[in-house]
């Protein structure tokens, strides 16, 4: 296969770039199809604005049918760089594409491209940043066969983080950029090997992008890492992300394209996400802890949602490490169907939230008349979590719309414990139309799993251990139709399960208890 996915071409290019790096910039002969940005006026001194020269180099290569734009070592201060089809940006080791500073109060002229005008028909359905792409450091729309590669760096130093408060004005102001890379309606895209520091509101916003490869990126940023919205055929592998101010890897399915489009066929594997290190300390390997502040959420998680209009299908997450961050979240609250999700081989330490959060809700931020969505066929296997949160893992649908067909096996939850009898008696509010974060429920009456409005749930070989005594049951079930609990382990001092208004609840292999089948409208503890 030709284009950015041809690994043999990339490997040959990497070897060639290594040899070029040993030569002075002006003495380097470039292979056929490659152009040096310095030959088009780029200075790489960190002060002169080089984006016009970079655009000239891209245009020159595009007129010849495509090619590779080579950035030799240096710091290339830039505003918006405009990608074209059949173009690769190659950042050599020692090369930095720097987002030039602008006043976050806006400019009368110049700076980054203006954000697209708001479409009043769809603007209310997602946050501002999700339906604007032009106000970015690197922008592409409707392109094919593009890549950004190399061992260099993208530094979004001059980008806004998109906060609309008095300290960090919103990014819709003229000349202000708020994304490192923004791609819309593209196909055949490869992002490999480079690092991103301070990527703005989004280090990557990819919307309607098909055949997207993200491999071996290191991201140390001040808001979201990868937002993969309405995309198909996506592979994210071997990436490390530190995102204490927001989420790390986030498949979404918003209404930003003006119609619902599913995010499907997504693989996330061999990745490390964190949420508690000072920005920059991942890249310099000092790993300095970040103290929680007013706008520091210590997130860093992998999440499907919150924007959920088009759906999620065929999602696989495997072999990932969560380090001092929130856990895995699957959320569909705007009418989307989420189905066929497989999660396996996950380790979590210093988790600030439930290890697992499965939420079907009715926020319904989208066109009027859309039905409540669905979540079904979710398999989770081989997960261990050392948690600092008193919240249990959560599986929560809403009345009349149950989460279905969930199988969870080989799970070890090391919880802090400490819940008292008052917490054990709580029947929390449904919060059906609220923003879907686990802490919106408030305290919960379980130490291990809280399950409500669900059908056909199976937990096998799941152990809940608390570091302090906890009066709450390990497993709390209400409005559950069909539950199989096999070989569950839980603290001996508290009830194993509380079951209320549920049917076909079966337990097998609970230590010290007989196997039993329960179908009851009255609370039962055992």
Q: What pLDDT digit, counting tens, does each position of 436-455 carry?
A: 999 999 999 999 999 999 99
pLDDT at 5: 43
The maximal CA–CA distance of the chain, rounded, in angstroms, is 82
Rounded Cα distance, 147 and 2, in Å: 12
DSSP per-residue letters across 85-141: TTEEEEE-TTEEEEE----TT--SS-SSPPPPPP-TTTGGGS-GGGG--SSEEEEEE
Q: What is the dihedral of CA 505, 511, 515, 518, to 10 degrees?
A: -30
CA 73 to chain centre: 31
In this structure, are residues 464 and 474 in contact, taking their beta carbons and an 8 Å threshold?
yes
CA 160 to chain centre: 19
Measuring CA to CA, which residue among 155, 143, 139, 156 is closest to residue 80? 139
Rounded Cα distance, 261 and 306, in Å: 15
Question: What residue spans define the domains of the chain?
Answer: 33-100, 327-526
Rounded Cα distance, 339 and 313, in Å: 5
Residue with tokens 């028909």: 121
Radius of gyration (Cα) for the chain, nearest Å? Answer: 25
Cis peptide upstream of residue 61 (ω within 30 degrees of 0): no
61: which residues sit within 8 A by CB, 6+ positions away? 33, 35, 67, 68, 69, 84, 87
Rounded Cα distance, 207 and 181, in Å: 11
Q: What is the dihedral of CA 275, 201, 340, 437, to 10 degrees?
A: 60
In this structure, are residues 289 and 315 in contact, taking their beta carbons and an 8 Å threshold?
no
Rounded Cα distance, 152 and 480, in Å: 52
Rounded Cα distance, 317 and 345, in Å: 9
State both tokens at 302. Answer: 């992998």
Residue with tokens 């041809």: 6
Give the residue ranges of the chain where pLDDT is below 70.
Answer: 1-29, 163-172, 293-295, 520-526
Distances (CA, A) of 461 to 68, 327, 353, 487, 503: 52, 20, 22, 5, 22
> Is the torsion defined by CA of 211, 249, 178, 253 positive or negative?
positive
Rounded Cα distance, 230 and 363, in Å: 19
Q: Dihedrals φ, ψ of 18, to 5°?
A: -60, -40
In this structure, are residues 30 and 36 in contact, taking their beta carbons and an 8 Å threshold?
yes
Measuring CA to CA, which residue among 424, 466, 460 is closest to residue 448? 466
Q: Dihedrals φ, ψ of 227, to 5°?
A: -105, 110
pLDDT at 2: 41
Rounded Cα distance, 308 and 339, in Å: 13
Q: 404-424: buried (b, 16+ CB within 10 Å) or exposed (e) per residue?
A: bbbbbbebbbbbbbebeeebb
384: which residues sit within 8 A by CB, 6+ positions away? 346, 347, 348, 411, 412, 414
Measuring CA to CA, which residue among 393, 127, 139 is closest to residue 252? 127
pLDDT at 169: 43
309: which residues sit within 8 A by CB, 6+ positions away? 125, 253, 254, 255, 260, 334, 335, 336, 365, 366, 370
HSE of 404 in the Cβ direction (CA atoms, 13 Å)?
A: 11
In this structure, are residues 393 and 450 in contact, taking their beta carbons and an 8 Å threshold?
yes
Rounded Cα distance, 99 and 157, in Å: 6
Q: pLDDT for 180-193, tens place per residue?
A: 999 999 999 999 99
CA 397 to chain centre: 22
pLDDT at 22: 47
């Amino acid at each position: 296969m030709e284009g950015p996915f041809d690994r043999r071409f990339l490997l040959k290019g990497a070897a060639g770039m290594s040899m070029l790096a040993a030569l002075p910039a002006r003495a380097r002969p470039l292979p056929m199809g490659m152009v040096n940005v310095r030959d088009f006026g780029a200075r790489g001194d960190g002060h002169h604005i080089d984006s016009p020269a970079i655009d000239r180099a891209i245009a020159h290569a595009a007129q010849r049918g495509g090619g590779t734009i080579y950035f030799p070592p240096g710091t290339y201060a830039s505003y918006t760089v405009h990608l074209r089809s059949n173009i690769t940006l190659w950042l050599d080791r020692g090369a930095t594409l720097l987002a030039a500073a602008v006043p976050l109060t806006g400019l009368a002229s110049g700076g980054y491209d203006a954000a697209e005008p708001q479409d009043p028909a769809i603007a209310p359905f997602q946050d501002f940043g999700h339906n604007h792409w032009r106000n970015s450091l690197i922008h592409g729309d409707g392109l094919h066969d593009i890549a950004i590669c190399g061992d260099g760096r993208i530094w979004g130093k001059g980008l806004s983080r998109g906060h609309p408060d008095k300290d960090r004005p919103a990014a819709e102001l003229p000349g202000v950029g708020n994304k490192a890379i923004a791609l819309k309606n593209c196909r055949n895209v490869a992002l490999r090997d480079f690092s991103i520091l301070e990527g703005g509101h989004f280090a990557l916003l990819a919307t309607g992008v098909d055949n997207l490869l993200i491999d071996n990126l290191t991201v140390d940023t001040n808001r979201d890492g990868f937002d993969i919205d309405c995309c198909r055929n996506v592979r994210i592998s071997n990436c490390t992300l530190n995102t204490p101010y927001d989420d790390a890897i986030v498949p979404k399915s918003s209404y930003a394209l003006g119609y619902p489009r599913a995010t499907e066929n997504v693989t996330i594997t061999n990745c490390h996400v964190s949420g508690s290190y000072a920005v920059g300390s991942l890249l310099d390997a000092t790993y300095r802890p970040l103290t929680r502040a007013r706008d520091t959420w210590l997130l860093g998680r992998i999440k499907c949602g919150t924007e959920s209009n088009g759906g999620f299908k065929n999602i696989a997450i495997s072999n990932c490490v969560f380090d001092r961050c929130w856990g895995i979240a699957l959320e569909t609250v705007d009418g989307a169907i989420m189905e066929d999700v497989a999660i396996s081989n996950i380790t979590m330490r210093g988790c600030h939230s439930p290890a697992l959060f499965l939420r079907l809700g009715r926020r319904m931020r989208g066109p009027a008349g859309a039905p409540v969505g669905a979540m079904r066929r979710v398999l989770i296997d081989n997960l261990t979590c050392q948690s600092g949160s008193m919240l249990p893992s959560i599986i929560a649908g809403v009345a009349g719309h149950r989460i279905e067909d969930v199988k969870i096996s080989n799970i070890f939850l090391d919880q802090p414990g400490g819940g008292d009898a008052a917490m054990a008696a709580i029947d929390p509010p449904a919060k059906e139309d609220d923003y879907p974060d686990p802490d919106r429920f408030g305290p919960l009456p379980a130490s291990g799993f809280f399950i409500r409005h669900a059908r056909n749930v199976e937990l096998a070989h799941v152990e809940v251990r608390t570091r302090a005594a906890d009066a709450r049951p390990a497993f709390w079930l209400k409005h559950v139709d069909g539950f199989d609990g096999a070989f569950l382990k839980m603290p001996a001092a508290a009830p194993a399960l509380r079951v209320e208004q549920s049917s076909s609840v079966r337990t097998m292999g609970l230590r010290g208890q007989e196997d039993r089948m329960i179908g009851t409208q009255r609370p039962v503890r055992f």
